Amino acid sequence: MTARLRVLILGGGIGGLSLAAALGQRGIAADVAEAREASSVLGVGLIQPGNALRALRSLGVLERCLAVGFSFEQWKLHDATGRFFGNVPTDLGSPAVPANNGISRRELHDALLDAAARAGATFFFGTTLAGLHDHGSHVSVTLSSGKSADYDLVVGFDGIRSELRCSLFGERYRTPSYTGHAVFRFMTERPSEVDGGALYFGRASKVGLVPLSATRMYLFAVTRAPGNPRLSPVTYPSRLRELLAGFGGVVAELRERVRNPDDIVYSPIEEVLLPSPWHRGRVVVCGDAAHASAPHLAQGAAMAIEDAVVLAELISGSDDIPTVLEAFMHRRLSRCRAVQEVSHTLLQAEAGVPVPAASDALHTPQNIERILSQPA
């Protein structure tokens, strides 16, 4: 029965492609409508912690991600001068997966796109949603291309600015919350000493180094940015160089390479706190559309991939969509909230807001790894 379930995925980013792949493995060939053209991927690189790698393993793309990426076991901590002062131990690795894998967004996208295509998904690129009517028994959809079809389930993996979230839950959920912080990311050649994750703590900003492959890496710099300023890309190099000016060691060497705006991405740090449930009838939003978080745990894409794997698993066990979506919330809500809360706490801590004592907070930097070590 579930083999004939008709699923439309709105958004062919990390979560949407993961869901198409996971459903295809279970005999359900989904339709994927993606606003962008096939070849465009925005952004630089990603850190994939061990729980993301476990989910990618279930999609059959782990080996490819590890082959093109750069695995590392721990983060090394430094002060702004470059003086090493400790490691961040992690429990997210296992004999089957490393603790972390750095990977370019393009490589991850291509691996997921191939997996979804192999799994039988049909793609409509350059396509968005034009209209949707939930009849209770099914959902009638019209796409911007003019194509109309009926589906048993519509899944919005349409990202942090999800239109679907807004149309389901109202205008007040149109805009994500701005945290007052922003991040520059800069892609460059990898010096041999960048052989794992490294963090450098300055007074007004935090800098991170992430190896992405044998030859490439990215540097990120998180900083306060009151008022969410709109910056012209031509100013990116000078602004990033200014931010990095107080740092020593390898960061100072990398600063000398910061010249070309095309190598730099600037992103405001935003969050989405959509109350439960994330569905109305037969339409659900997942990934960033439902629970975008600050990137401080590097768990946003991980949570989107896990959402996809869990949803596909539940769909393959039942074709009763209301029951599936209820079970989905039960499996996903507290884990995604924990990631959001701890990511937010870490962001605030960097801004000088004291981290709550373990006894005052449900989820803390101390217990998040225990939660994420559990199956999704």
Ligand X SMILES: Cc1cc2nc3c(=O)[nH]c(=O)nc-3n(C[C@H](O)[C@H](O)[C@H](O)COP(=O)(O)OP(=O)(O)OC[C@H]3O[C@@H](n4cnc5c(N)ncnc54)[C@H](O)[C@@H]3O)c2cc1C
- Kindly report the three-state secondary structure assignment for every residue of 170-216: CHHHCCCEEEEEEEEEEEEECCCCCCCEEEEECCCEEEEEEECCCCE
**Closest to ligand X by CB, 12 or 196:** 12
Q: Please check whether residue 306 is in contact with residue 286, taking contact to mean a CB–CB distance below 8 angstroms.
A: no
**Closest to ligand X by CB, 318 or 334:** 334
Exactly one of 5, 9, 121, 129 binds ligand X (CB under 6 A); that residue is 129
**Least distance CB 143 / ligand X (angstroms):** 9
Q: Which stretch of DSSP H or E encloses residue 338?
A: helix 321-350
Using rule CB under 6 A, residue 288 touches ligand X: yes
Q: What would the two tokens of residue 228 be?
A: 């969410």
Residue in the shown chain whose Cβ atom is closest to ligand X: 13
Region binding ligand X by CB under 6 A among candidate stretches 30-38, 133-141, 324-332, 350-358:
30-38
- Residues of this chain, 175-194, that bind ligand X according to CB under 6 A: 183
**Least distance CB 359 / ligand X (angstroms):** 29
**C-alpha to C-alpha distance for 358 and 375, rounded to whole angstroms:** 23
**Least distance CB 95 / ligand X (angstroms):** 22
**Closest to ligand X by CB, 13 or 93:** 13
Q: How far is CA 243 from CA 240, 292, 297, in A?
A: 5, 26, 22
Q: Which stretch of DSSP H or E encloses residue 156?
A: strand 153-156
Exactly one of 68, 304, 311, 336 binds ligand X (CB under 6 A); that residue is 304
Q: Please check whether residue 352 is in contact with residue 339, taking contact to mean a CB–CB distance below 8 angstroms.
A: no
**Least distance CB 255 / ligand X (angstroms):** 19
Secondary structure class of 340 (helix, strand, coil): helix
Using rule CB under 6 A, residue 14 touches ligand X: yes
In sign, the C-alpha dihedral spanning 221, 225, 230, 232 is negative
**Closest to ligand X by CB, 81 or 338:** 338
**Closest to ligand X by CB, 145 or 235:** 145
What are the residues binding ligand X (CB under 6 A)?
10-16, 33-36, 46-47, 52, 128-129, 157-159, 163, 183, 267, 287-289, 295, 298-302, 304
